[in-house]
Amino acid sequence: MLRTALIPVLTYLLAAPACANETLVESEQATFRVETLVEALDQPWSLAFLPDGRMLITERSGGLRVVENGRLLPAPVKGIPEVAVKGQGGLLEVAVHPEFESNGWIYLTYSAQGRGGMGTELARGRLVESNRLESVEVLYRAEPKSGGGRHFGSRLAFAPDGTLFMSLGERGDKDRAQDLSDPAGSIIRLRDDGGVPPDNPFVGQAGARPEIFSYGNRNPQGLAVHPSTGELWAHEHGPRGGDEVNIIRAGANYGWPVITHGVAYSGFKIGEGTHKAGMEQPVHFWDPSIAPSGMAFYTGDAFPEWQGDLLVGALKFQLLVRLELEDGAVVHEERLLEQDVGRIRDVRQGPDGNIYLLAGEGGGVLVRLSPSD
């Protein structure tokens, strides 16, 4: 990977601040600019685009921020639900309803305090004048709540049929992921109002939670719908090794903690091995772990060579992974931006076809990748 010296940037499509910088990166298939658009974010976690060009950014410390005309508005949005900030918990995902222009709904996931400890919750509200949420309602509470500050999952993805997928971590208690009476360690499927679709795979099954779509998931922090097949893809953190990319199918068991391609942080074996009948194998896995977070299929015209590729952010090694796919299989991996922008937490394709990243912790940044031509 070759780089030029830093070059001052004078203008942006989104009128980015004049202090931003540009770096040129030469990858296997494209040379692209890396531009810092926004700085000084506090633990940025998720990014979403509004139809009018504004961007929404969550800060895990509890702030929902608005980027308007390329600049971060000074005050966080008011009216968000009460958030419990502890460990990996806080204000997490933000998503925009596919019919936002007619209904105005913004969706948030976050960790919340309740009986027994903390858990992931889902709420929605309507953004008014860039500075407050109104008509806020909690749509889903993952229960039972539990102690500790790990593994909240929290990614969202709207399916082509209008239903909403949400990932839930197993809260650091691995056996919960195999318990169908407990939503922890699963990917759930809801209507956009929080109700349960009647065709969910465990509806009517005694002892099973009807919202569960898949289970045996450890801590999924990437969800994306395949642009051609409509299938849900997810990635999840493994233990020490064994980060996985999976195609999520109704009722499927993804094995955690019975099977895994990783080991415990102590180095000891977990479960029964890497394979077991009735449990799914990943499409791809990483060993050693890259700590994946954020994921998007690329469909834009800015990088025609990357159309159909899967882009995955990584916290460990601070890199962006590009996966080339053929018939649902990964055939090539390229690693980009290693340690260039910080721990990459979210990856999104913008409406302009460029790629946007959230990276870093305190002093986090919003970064744009755009073609050099």
Token reading at 62: 């509890």
Q: In the prediction, which pLDDT does 2 show?
A: 31
Beta carbons of 86 and 119 less than 8 angstroms apart? no
Residue 109 has pLDDT above 60, yes or no: yes
Q: In the prediction, which pLDDT does 362 show?
A: 87
Beta carbons of 301 and 311 less than 8 angstroms apart? no
Q: Is 175 helix (H, G, I), strand (E, B) or coil?
A: helix
Beta carbons of 217 and 254 less than 8 angstroms apart? yes
List pLDDT tens digits, range 67-78. 999 999 999 999
18 — pLDDT class (breaks 50, 70, 90) = very low
List pLDDT tens digits, range 184-218. 999 999 999 999 999 999 999 999 999 999 999 99
Using only C-alpha atoms, the chain has a radius of gyration, in whole angstroms, of 20
Q: In the prediction, which pLDDT does 292 show?
A: 98
Beta carbons of 289 and 243 less than 8 angstroms apart? yes
DSSP3 helix / strand / coil % (the chain, rounded to 5): 5, 45, 50
Chain centre to alpha carbon of residue 179: 24
130 — pLDDT class (breaks 50, 70, 90) = confident
List pLDDT tens digits, range 231-290. 999 999 999 999 999 999 999 999 999 999 999 999 999 999 999 999 999 999 999 999
Residue 5 has pLDDT above 80, yes or no: no
Q: In the prediction, which pLDDT does 21 show?
A: 72
SS3 track for 228-260: CCCCEEEEECCCECCEEEEEECCCCECCCCCEC
Give the number of C-alpha atoms closer than 13 A to the C-alpha of residue 54, restricted to the C-beta side: 19
Residue 141 has pLDDT above 60, yes or no: yes
* Residues recognised as catalytic: 151
Residue 16 has pLDDT above 80, yes or no: no
Long-range contacts of 78-81 (CB under 8 A, 24+ apart): 78/131, 78/132, 78/133, 79/125, 79/132, 79/133, 79/134, 79/136, 80/108, 80/110, 80/123, 80/125, 80/133, 80/136, 81/108, 81/110, 81/112, 81/121, 81/123, 81/136, 81/138
| Helix (H), strand (E) at residue 100 | helix 100-103
Phi and psi dihedrals of 338, rounded to 5? -55, 120
19 — pLDDT class (breaks 50, 70, 90) = very low
Closest CA to 249 of 295, 215, 199: 215
Which ranges in 119-206 belong to alpha helices (H)? none
Q: In the prediction, which pLDDT does 4 show?
A: 31
